[in-house]
């Protein structure tokens, strides 16, 4: 396939626009680090995932694009130069990352083959504080809306049905047996389904883990989706975050369940669109 060659002024403008977009999305995180402050919503993507703002701000065009006048990319992993034009070393990257590409391709395919399930109501966050003492609560600086006893009562009066291994592993020992599933890393291909908020956030992980094969535009779209999902995740959690401007989604009520499931369906549509874009790239 003949590569499209982008003139230097064109691709540098694209790279700068991408860096500015990332800066706007990360400035709060960087300011809080200087001040030593924590944020239970915005900090999550940086603490849970191993991709730093500086890494996200680097622009990658993906396959089939040459960057004229980009000799500095000779020092970047995954690039080759012809003269002063830089190209993604697609063959080399695909060979080196074959196992990761294969896993992500299989996981995306399996997830897209299943309907979303919309009856979990975000109870994974409640199960993470079920019968927990103050030291065990992950966001201990924020009060529980219903108090400890009220939070425990919500867990005990609902069916907990978490399908995501990385959420389930944070359940308290008392909550884990209440889950209708026993998700593990080994069962991920079997259990992953597109209605899961954590699976939707993880699309971002699969994108950045395959950098620079994945174009930065796709990775940034996945990051934005993950941020939106995390906001719902914490609004539906047992914490009271109204001081930060987050009105709770009261999943302990019928109205809250309807609100949560509606948002969950919208996120499923968005995450499946990104899964298809990433899968198209990996199977090209």
Q: For the segment 3-28, what is each residue's pLDDT rounded down to a tens digit?
A: 899 999 999 999 999 999 999 998 88
Q: By the 8 A CB rule, do 214 and 95 touch?
A: no
* pTM for this model (two decimals): 0.94
Burial (CB < 10 A; 0-12, 13-18, 19+), residue 241, is buried
Residues of the chain with pLDDT under 70: 1-2, 135, 140
Query: Tell me, what's the pLDDT at 137?
Result: 75
Within 10 angstroms of residue 51's Cβ, the number of other Cβ atoms is 17
Tokens of 240: 């009271």
Location of structure tokens 């996945």:
222
Measured CA to CA, the distance from residue 182 to residue 204 in angstroms comes to: 24
- Residue 79, token pair as written in the block: 């690039």
Q: Cα torsion at 66, 71, 77, 82 (round to 10°)?
A: 50
Q: What is the pLDDT of residues 204-255, one digit of tens each?
A: 999 999 999 999 999 999 999 999 999 999 999 999 999 999 999 999 999 9
The DSSP 8-state label assigned to residue 179 in this structure reads: B
Q: At what angle do helices 254-282 and 197-209 cross, to 10 degrees?
A: 20
């Amino acid at each position: 396939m003949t590569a499209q060659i982008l003139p230097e002024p064109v691709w540098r403008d694209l790279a700068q626009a991408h860096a500015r977009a990332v800066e706007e999305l990360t400035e709060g995180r960087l300011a809080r680090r200087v001040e030593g402050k924590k944020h239970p919503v915005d900090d999550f993507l940086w603490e849970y995932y191993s991709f730093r703002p500086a890494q996200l701000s680097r622009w990658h065009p993906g396959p089939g694009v040459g960057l004229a006048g980009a000799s500095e990319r000779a020092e970047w992993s995954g690039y080759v130069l012809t003269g002063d034009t830089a190209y993604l070393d697609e063959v080399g990257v695909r060979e080196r990352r074959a196992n990761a590409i294969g896993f992500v391709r299989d996981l995306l395919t399996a997830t897209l083959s299943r309907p979303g399930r919309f009856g979990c109501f975000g109870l994974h966050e409640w199960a993470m504080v079920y019968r927990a003492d103050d030291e065990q609560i992950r966001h201990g600086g924020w009060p529980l809306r219903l108090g400890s006893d009220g939070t425990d009562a919500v867990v005990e009066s609902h069916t907990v049905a978490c399908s995501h291994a990385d959420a389930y592993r944070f359940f308290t020992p008392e909550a884990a047996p209440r889950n209708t599933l026993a998700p593990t890393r080994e069962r991920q291909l079997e259990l992953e389904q597109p209605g899961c908020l954590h699976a939707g956030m993880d699309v971002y992980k699969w994108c950045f883990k395959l950098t620079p094969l994945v174009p930065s535009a796709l990775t940034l779209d996945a990051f934005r989706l993950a941020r939106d999902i995390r906001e719902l995740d914490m609004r539906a959690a047992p914490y009271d975050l109204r001081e930060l401007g987050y009105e709770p989604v009261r999943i302990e009520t019928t109205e809250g369940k309807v609100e949560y499931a509606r948002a969950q369906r919208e996120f499923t549509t968005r995450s499946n669109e990104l899964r298809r874009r990433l899968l198209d790239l990996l199977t090209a």
